[in-house]
Amino acid sequence: MSEREVAVTGIGMVTPAGLGREATWDGLCAGVGVGARDAALAGLPVDFSCAVPGFDGDALLGRKITWRNDRFIQLALVAAREAVADAGLDPAAWDGPRVAVVLGSASNGGDRWPQEYRNLAEGRVSAISPTALLRSLPNMVAGEISADLQALGPCLTTSTACASGATAIGTARDLIRAGACDIALAGGTDCARVPMGSAAFHRMQALSTRRDDPAGASRPFDADRDGFVLSEGSAVLVLERPEHARARRARVRGWLCGYGASGDGYHATRPDPHGAGARRALLAALADARAQPQDVHHVNAHGTSTALNDRVEADLLAEVFRTAPPVTSLKGVIGHALGAAGAVDAACSVLSLQRQLIPPTANLDRLDAGMELDVVAKRPRQHRMETVVSNAFGFGGQNAVLLFRTA
């Protein structure tokens, strides 16, 4: 590979499909939605979500860290540690100022803000936690990872709604290309399973209301889809300059070869109905990788399970690829983790390349009429592939597309 490509040498994931990279992969390949009633959302019109199973921040990180950080930061710390270990890197030995951190987040979470607002409303200012602000600021996820792993290079957070995680990976790639660092820890994190999030998205008519079937509620590209399912999670990739990876004889899981980003300039929540912005991002990623549409063997779709977004994305893929390569949406299994979604999709795109296997789209019983897509459903599909595209599109018309090639 040329110096334009960036090596992916480590992957860490914490998702509703499983705690850790391999557990997540196995859960995604099982192809069964994990949506369930959520006690944190009890009494709301939409009272179900997709939660990370068995996540115990105190056990995994220690009480001191969990006390000062909201859940979205805790998830990212666990994913980052796994990614670094997977890459065979030792933070005690690396050149810290040459290691960057770029994390994306859309909603952060704010899981403990309701109690702080109650304290304020009841005049109990002295009861407000001194960590109330710090534990929920979006920049703190990058700051906490920097401190935890002594990654002392460029340290920043990206926020492009549901494209945040993919934007972070693309931004980290650009930092490596620019020579600002040799290694970057890049990905996304979010915890959308909070009452205000559920209530607000419900008022926007964005959420599925299948309270009688939470596990079957997220239905990307299905004719009977009625909205997305709130989720949470984190994924972190270790990216390295090729020369750096070669010098330490690192195992390379895949190569990040292309990144494209764009803005729709159309509407706060609805995508451009013609997919013009998303198309620009996709074509930019292809051009950046010096690839043609026919070179792409698989698309990890954004596939939110909303009526308009799935239709626009399906039309886009049919237009650009003519005969669309096999497509999947992980959100059928794990719901929509907002700012983490693009990073989870990117991580699984690399694993798909490594294992030549595409996880299925859960809950796809009947492809919506007129969608000219080959959607992998019901069971994983063995598929020979060298190039995968991963799409991420967000509110505000913010789009990010990543292109990976096999190692």
Residue 297 a catalytic site member? no
Residue 298 a catalytic site member? no
Q: Which of 29, 155, 297, 302 is catalytic?
A: 302
The rounded distance, in Å, linking the Cα atoms of 213 and 10 is: 36
Q: Which of 29, 191, 298, 336 is catalytic?
A: 336
| Coil/strand/helix, residue 261 | strand
Residue 162 a catalytic site member? yes
* 240 bridge partner residues: 7, 183
Structure-block tokens of residue 155? 């340290």
Q: Which of 162, 181, 191, 348 is catalytic?
A: 162
The rounded distance, in Å, linking the Cα atoms of 328 and 305 is: 12
- Cα torsion 16, 22, 27, 28 to 10°: value is 90
* 387 bridge partner residues: 405
What DSSP letter does each residue of 266-323 carry, written as one string? S-SSSPPTT-HHHHHHHHHHHHHTT--GGG--EEE----S-HHHHHHHHHHHHHHHSS
Going by C-alpha positions, the residue among 241, 234, 206, 190 that lies closest to residue 79 is: 234
Q: Using DSSP, how many helices (H) and how many strands (E) does the chain show? A: 13, 15
Tell me which residues are annotated as active site.
162, 302, 336
